[in-house]
């Protein structure tokens, strides 16, 4: 495969006349990327693993002392950290489920011949093109109990979306659903348009009901691509920081990345925050692995 | 190709050469501060320095919410982007122990600043450790929490009559926290979209904690013994429990959605006709007497943080001192600037521009005290202020206090006693971790 790609170098091209071999060109493209990855990703990753076993504080000139597993032990015994994880889990479930329902639903609606379909799809994609910080700032205004549009439109009076500790996390999730449902919609739409039409025709001939058609034809065929959307969204939701940080400061919305930020850059507990970052990384990897296994199973069907 | 590369390199070299030569001719100083009005006043002040000496001084700012993070990131990297910083009073322990600040003790003693500046500002902005005689910054912007109120609501004869009938005493500027609470309750009328009081509740940095401190200090309480790090029986004392309860009660008289409020929201409470009284730093009061930013400017009055049940009267300290950063390339030039900054006429000019000078002489002058409706309250407050911990691990102490106190005040979780007992345990654990106590 690789050689097939490489032999396509046109003998009359400038590179070829300059005497560059295929190998040189390949290296020219690949080496900078690998160097970049090593310098900015792999090296810090390993370096911070080292720090996670020390009491290092970036704010202090004192040398780091090796403390073994103490950081991990204390973090996993800290009830506040566990409550941060519970909040994150709740947030991930609410926001990803919401995005799948809304995104897939809209995709089903759009998956037919309607006028201005292209324009409509583009407009629906707008939210996800905005920056998280901007979305956070203007949803904060929309949710405002005194002058926000949402309460006015829904006739909710002074309902406190962001100050109510029980509601705040849902308010953040609603904003996230608004922003990222279009992403799920886009992928689902791609999946839906790839379902062969003759399957539906066959189902119609067999007089299959619409529920049966949906659960036995549409969903199984779209499932692999939908799973990819879910993997992306779960990973992103797990890492959510900006939206929750900007919208509210309720302890009930303190997702794990906000705790991590405070630990690393307000308290300057560098060693311990590296340990927490590793715990989060392991969790994200584990969850992603489960998904990928499931995705492969779905594909095999 | 080779020609192109050569000429490009020559160009870059020329630019660099020009750049350095310009740099060598004009000395420049950069002061880092948070983004707020006093920073603009400081820029106006330092423009005078440039006019006098030719040294250009720039005040660079960043929003309050990431001021601490940005400053310490730069310090930790030993960066020379800033020559001086107008840093928060709590930072002084962390910044001095880590060697980020230049020791200004000699400068302080040479100019006898201990006498020149108001005592509280020396104690909290400049000296670390407590009572050590070592100084790390020059008090620059004095500040403390005060209150603004709606004079027109307070002086309405109908309201005055109704208040007297309900509470048995005259409606007026609250003398103590009980009166503050009564007035807040009295004016709290959600059906008329009018609310009792605006207080600090934002828990992302130190707003909520400073709000609570106002109650604690006036109730005669303390956060702990700053010299011995003892907190048990101090942070969870009976006075503090009562103070926390009254702060929670005040929260029930705030406008809707008041769970993430700091100085912007508290000033809005007055400008938008939301609340009868509002807690805020004196530094934000200039906007309230300006009719362009406050339609109720003529009807806005000011008072100092009221006393507690035993007559103690204190307020939470804000404000900052100016420090020289150890990694600056222009330390000598920065020291020259400080010599200019502490001159009496500079301090006077600083006060005229809107800065809150810490110079005792200027503060005591009748000109200063009569310059605005709130300057007298400011002068009185600056002699009875207290501050949060200034130890290097203050951020952990602050976050622990936010974690314990915020759910109680805004979310009805637990009792004041439970909250403060848990906080005492958290703080003890932190001090043990850093070997401050055995």
Interfacial A residues in 233-252 facing B (CB < 8 Å): 248-252
Say which of A59, A160, A265 has its CB closest to residue B94: A59
A interface test, pick of B96, B256, B406, B410 with most A CB neighbours within 10 Å: B256
- For residue B53, the model assigns a pLDDT of 93
Answer whether B392 touches A (CB < 8 Å): yes
**Greater pLDDT, B13 or B226:** B226
Cβ contact, residue pair A146, B395, below 8 Å: no
Provide mean pLDDT across the span B54-59.
94
Mean pLDDT rounded to a whole number for chain A: 89
Query: Has residue B3 got a pLDDT over 60?
Result: no
pLDDT at A4 over 50: no
For B272-316, the DSSP string reads TT-EEEEEEEGGGSGGGS-TTT-TTGGGEEEEEPPB-TTS---EE
Position A9 scores a pLDDT of 62
Cβ of A49: how many Cβ atoms within 10 Å? 14
Give yes or no for residue B19 having a pLDDT over 60. no
pLDDT of the residue at B71 = 93
Report d(CA B320, CA B124) in Å as an integer.
Answer: 9
**Cβ pair B255:A160 closer than 8 A:** no
What is the rounded CA–CA span in Å between residue A92 and residue A113? 34
Shortest Cα–Cα distance, B66 to chain A (Å): 9
- Tell whether B327 lies on the interface with A, counting CB pairs under 8 A: no
For residue B257, the distance in angstroms to the closest alpha carbon of chain A comes to 5
Helix (H/G/I), strand (E/B), else coil: B335: helix
Give the least confident one: B102-106, B236-240, B376-380.
Answer: B376-380
Q: What is the pLDDT of residue A8?
A: 61
Question: For residues B381 and B304, what is the distance between their CA atoms, to the nearest angstrom?
Answer: 6
CA separation, residue B397 to residues A251, B420, B436 (Å): 16, 13, 13
Could you tell me the end-to-end alpha-carbon distance of chain A, in angstroms, rounded to an integer? 27
Query: What mean pLDDT is reported for chain B?
Result: 90
Q: Identify which of B190, B260, B399 has the shortest CB distance to residue A262.
A: B399
List the single residue in A61, A165, A269 with the smallest CB-CB distance to B98: A61
Identify any residues that bridge with B195 across adjacent strands, giving them in sequence order: B275
Q: Per-residue confidence at B26, pLDDT binned at 50, 70, 90?
A: low
Write the CATH number of the domain with boundaries B26-144+317-386.
3.40.190.10
Q: Tell whether the torsion through CA atoms of B277, B279, B282 and B286 is positive or negative.
A: negative
Ranges in chain B annotated CATH 3.40.190.10 = 26-144+317-386, 145-316+392-433
Sign of the C-alpha dihedral computed for residues B336, B339, B345 and B351 taken in this order: positive
Q: DSSP for A193-256, please give it.
A: HTS-HHHHHHHHHTT--HHHHIIIIIHHHHHHHHHHHHHHHHHHHHT--HHHHHH---GGG--H
- pLDDT tens readout for residues A283-299: 999 998 998 898 888 87
Q: Is the pLDDT of residue A3 over 50?
A: no
Residues of B with CB below 8 A from A251's CB? 203, 403, 406-407, 411
Nearest CA in chain A to B254: A163
Q: What are the residues whose beta carbons fall under 8 Å from the beta carbon of A39, sequence distance 6 or more?
A: none
Does A70 lie at the interface with B, CB-CB under 8 angstroms? no
CA nearest B413 in A: which residue? A165
Pairing of strands B28-34, B56-62: parallel
Lowest mean pLDDT among A153-167, B8-22, B288-302: B8-22
Q: Quick one: pLDDT band at residue B16, thresholds 50, 70, 90?
A: very low
Give the pLDDT confidence score for residue A101 in this predicted structure. Answer: 96
| B425 at interface of A, judged by CB pairs closer than 8 A | no
Q: What is the band of B12 on the pLDDT scale with cuts at 50, 70, 90?
A: very low
| Cβ–Cβ below 8 Å for A158 and B73 | no
Q: Which of A198-212, B242-256, B280-294 has the highest mean pLDDT?
A: B242-256
**A residues 88-127 closer than 8 Å to B (CB):** none
**What pLDDT is stored for residue A145 in this prediction?**
85
**Rounded Cα gap, residues B68 and A265, in angstroms:** 9
In chain A, where the domains are located: 2-51, 79-300
How is residue A139 annotated by DSSP?
H
CA dihedral A127, A131, A135, A137 (to 10 degrees): -160
CATH topology of domain B145-316+392-433: D-Maltodextrin-Binding Protein; domain 2 (3.40.190)
**Over residues B387-413, mean pLDDT:** 91
B64 secondary structure, DSSP code: G
- Of B239, B99, B103, the closest CA to residue B177 belongs to B239
B411: chain A residues, CB-CB within 8 Å: 165, 250-252
Pairing type for strands B300-304 and B138-150 reads antiparallel
Contact A163 B258 (CB under 8 A): yes
**What is the interface pTM, i.e. ipTM, of the complex?**
0.71
Of B94, B190, B257, the CB nearest to A144: B257
pLDDT, tens digit (0-9, with 9 covering 90-100), for A70-88: 999 999 999 889 999 999 9
A252-266 average pLDDT score: 92
The hierarchical CATH code for the domain A79-300 is: 1.10.3720.10
The 10 Å Cβ neighbour count of residue A35 is: 10
pLDDT > 70: what percent of chain A? 95
Peptide bond into B129 cis (omega under 30): yes
pTM assigned to the model: 0.80
Say yes or no to pLDDT of B400 above 50.
yes
Interval B157-216: pLDDT, tens? 999 999 999 999 999 999 999 999 999 999 999 999 999 999 999 988 889 999 999 999
Does the structure show a pLDDT above 70 at A246?
yes
CA distance B365 to B406: 41
CA-nearest residue to B68 within chain A is: A266
Whether the pLDDT of residue B22 is over 80: the answer is: no
Whole-number pLDDT of residue B23: 44
- Higher model confidence: residue B347 or residue A13? B347
Indicate the helix (H) or strand (E) that contains B67: helix B67-76
B204 in reach of chain A (CB within 8 A): yes
> How far from the centroid of its chain's Cα atoms is residue A211's Cα?
30
Residue B365 burial by Cβ neighbours in a 10 Å radius (0-12, 13-18, 19+): middle
Mean pLDDT, residues A120-135 taken together:
93
Q: What single string gives the DSSP state of each residue in A66-103? A: B-TTHHHHHHHT-HHHHHHHHHHHHHHHHHHHHHHHHH
Question: pLDDT digits over A32-52, tens only?
Answer: 999 999 999 999 999 999 999
Radius of gyration of chain B from its Cα atoms, rounded to whole angstroms: 24
- How deeply is B118 buried, as exposed, middle or buried, from its count of CB atoms within 10 A (0-12, 13-18, 19+)? buried
Say what percent of chain A tops pLDDT 90: 61
**Closest B-chain CA to A60:** B98
* pLDDT score of A251: 85
d(CA B436, CA A142): 47
User: Is the Cβ of A167 closer than 8 Å to some Cβ of chain B?
Assistant: no
DSSP state of A57: -
């Amino acid at each position: 495969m690789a050689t097939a790609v490489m032999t396509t170098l046109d003998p009359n091209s400038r590179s070829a006349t300059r005497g560059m071999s295929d190998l040189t060109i390949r290296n020219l493209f690949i080496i900078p990327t690998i160097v970049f990855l090593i310098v900015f990703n792999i090296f810090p990753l390993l370096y911070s693993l080292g720090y996670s076993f020390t009491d290092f504080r970036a704010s202090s000139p004192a040398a780091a002392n090796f403390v073994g597993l103490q950081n991990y032990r204390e973090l996993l015994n800290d009830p506040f950290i566990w409550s941060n994880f519970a909040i994150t889990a709740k947030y991930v479930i609410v926001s990803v489920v919401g995005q799948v329902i809304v995104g897939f639903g809209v995709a089903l609606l759009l998956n037919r011949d309607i006028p201005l379909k292209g324009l409509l799809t583009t407009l629906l994609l707008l939210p996800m093109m905005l920056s998280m910080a901007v979305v956070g700032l203007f949803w904060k205004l929309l949710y405002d109990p005194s002058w926000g549009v949402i309460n006015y439109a829904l006739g909710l009076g002074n309902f406190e979306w962001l100050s109510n500790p029980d509601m705040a996390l849902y308010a953040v999730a609603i904003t996230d659903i608004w922003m990222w449902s279009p992403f799920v919609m886009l992928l689902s739409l791609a999946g839906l348009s790839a379902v062969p039409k003759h399957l539906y025709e066959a189902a119609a001939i067999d007089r299959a009901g619409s529920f049966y058609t949906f659960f036995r034809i549409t969903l199984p065929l779209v499932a692999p691509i939908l799973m990819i959307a879910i993997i992306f969204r779960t990973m992103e939701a797990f890492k959510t920081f900006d939206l929750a940080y900007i919208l509210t400061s309720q302890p009930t919305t303190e997702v794990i990345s906000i705790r991590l930020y405070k630990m690393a850059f307000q308290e300057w507990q560098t060693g311990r925050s590296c340990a927490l970052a590793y715990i989060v990384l392991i969790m994200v990897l584990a969850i992603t692995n489960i998904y990928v296994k499931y995705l492969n199973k779905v594909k095999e069907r | 190709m080779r020609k192109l590369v050569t000429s490009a390199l020559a160009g870059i070299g020329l630019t660099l050469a020009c750049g350095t030569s310009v740099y060598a001719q004009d000395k420049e100083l950069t002061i880092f501060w948070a983004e707020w009005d006093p920073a603009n006043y400081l820029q106006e002040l330092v423009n005078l320095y440039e006019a006098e000496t030719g040294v250009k001084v720039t005040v660079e700012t960043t929003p309050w919410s990431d001021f601490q993070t940005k400053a310490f990131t730069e310090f930790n990297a030993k960066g020379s982007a800033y020559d001086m910083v107008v840093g928060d009073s709590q930072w002084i322990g962390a910044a001095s122990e880590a060697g980020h600040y230049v020791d200004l003790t000699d400068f302080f003693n040479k100019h006898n600043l201990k006498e020149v500046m108001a005592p509280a500002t020396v104690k909290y902005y400049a000296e670390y450790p407590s009572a050590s005689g070592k100084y790390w910054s020059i008090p620059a912007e004095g500040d403390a929490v005060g209150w603004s109120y709606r004079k027109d609501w307070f002086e309405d004869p109908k309201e005055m009559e109704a208040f007297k009938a309900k509470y048995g005493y005259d409606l007026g500027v609250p003398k103590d926290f009980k009166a503050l609470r009564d007035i807040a309750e009295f004016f709290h009328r959600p059906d008329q979209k009018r609310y009792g009081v605006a207080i600090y509740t934002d828990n992302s940095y130190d707003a909520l904690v400073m709000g609570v401190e106002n109650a604690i200090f006036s109730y005669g309480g303390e956060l702990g013994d700053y010299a011995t790090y003892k907190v048990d029986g101090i942070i969870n004392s009976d006075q503090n429990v009562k103070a926390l309860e009254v702060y929670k009660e005040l929260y029930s008289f705030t406008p809707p959605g008041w769970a993430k409020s700091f100085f912007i929201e508290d000033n809005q409470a007055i400008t938008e006709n939301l609340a009868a009284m509002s807690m805020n730093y004196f530094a934000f009061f200039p906007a309230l007497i300006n009719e362009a930013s406050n339609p109720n400017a003529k009807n806005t009055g000011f008072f100092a943080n009221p006393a507690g049940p035993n007559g103690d009267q204190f307020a939470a300290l804000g404000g900052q001192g100016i420090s020289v950063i150890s990694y600056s390339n222009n330390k000598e030039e920065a020291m020259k600037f400080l010599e200019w900054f502490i001159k009496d006429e500079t301090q006077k000019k600083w006060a005229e521009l809107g800065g809150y000078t810490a110079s005792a002489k200027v503060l005591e002058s009748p000109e200063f005290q009569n310059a605005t409706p709130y300057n007298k309250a400011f002068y009185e407050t600056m002699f009875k202020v207290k501050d949060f911990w200034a130890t290097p691990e203050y951020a952990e102490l602050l976050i622990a206090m936010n974690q314990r106190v915020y759910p109680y005040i805004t979310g009805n979780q637990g009792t004041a006693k439970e909250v403060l007992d848990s906080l005492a345990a958290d703080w003890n654990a932190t001090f043990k971790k850093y070997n401050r106590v055995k």
